[in-house]
Amino acid sequence: MNQSSPVSRSASSKIVRFLVILGCLAVVSLVLWQLLPKATFSSDLSQVGQGKPALVMLREIHVMGGERTIEQMQALYPEFQDQVVFLLIHTGHPDGVAFAETHSLSDGSLVLLNGRGDAVATMGRPDSADDLRRFILQHLNLNS
């Protein structure tokens, strides 16, 4: 019998185990990376009431679904960026919780505020970017 065989198997099994663990860690890291919030809109509520209307979306940290509303906002942003401040608040922050309670918002819902910061209208999750566009145009007097 070859005595180096058990040592080789032991060393190769350690290498294989290490590579499997490394691969699993890479997959988990990739999945977590995809779940991270994408760079989107500011959450600075001090911009509300500064003369420019604001569209504020609530993102609840433990609820799925609001990402569609974010995508719709991103689609409309180039069209309205000069006329409306787009904001995204989270329930993971005390200001977001207070704002959500004040305006009775849930994940993916929106509130439209005029330039003075007064709530003009609220909307649940829009079905499409066109629905969101109509909501904005219906409640604000914009040159769009």
Provide the pLDDT confidence category of residue 1 given band limits of 50, 70 and 90.
very low
Angle between helix axes 66-80 and 129-139 (nearest 10 degrees) is: 60
Spatial CA neighbour of 54 closest among 143, 134, 136, 144:
136
**39-96 confidence digits (pLDDT tens):** 578 888 889 989 999 999 988 877 777 788 888 999 999 999 999 999 999 888 888 8
**Statement: the pTM of the whole predicted model exceeds 0.85:** no
Write down the domain spans for the chain.
Answer: 45-140
20: its two tokens:
């499997």
Quick one: pLDDT at residue 68?
A: 84
Amino acid letter, residue 92: G
Provide Rg for the chain, Cα atoms.
24
CATH topology of domain 45-140: Glutaredoxin (3.40.30)
**121-141 confidence digits (pLDDT tens):** 999 999 999 999 999 999 987
Cα distances (angstroms) measured from residue 43 to each of 28, 46, 95: 29, 9, 9
